[in-house]
Amino acid sequence: MLKESKVLFSLGSVYLTVGAREALENSNQTAAEFLARHQSGDWGDVCKDDKIENELSVKQGYRILSSYKTSKDVNIWVITEADRNPSTILLPSEY
């Protein structure tokens, strides 16, 4: 778990889609690894404009989107809704 000082927002209930679960299992990685990055402000592979939008979203209470690659080079997204409940880990194709 992250130190309290590194947690920028609540994740609420966390959901994992079937595709994301398979991608994490195939890469031998856990959801917690990506959730910790997301919650601490490491937005992963999003563009500069999306990083700026995420920073604003943390402060203003809007939806937050992070994008990461698993060790098997599969792209996964972590989305936390504006009300901070829920957060979902999914493949872009499952959006």
Whether residue 56 is contained in a domain is answered as: yes
Q: How confident is the model at residue 6 (pLDDT cuts 50, 70, 90)?
A: confident
Q: How far apart are CA 20 and CA 79, in angstroms?
A: 12
pLDDT digits (tens, 9 = 90+) for 21-59: 999 999 999 999 999 999 999 999 999 999 999 999 999
Containing domain of residue 41, as a range? 11-94
Number of domains comprising the chain? 1
Whether residue 5 is contained in a domain is answered as: no
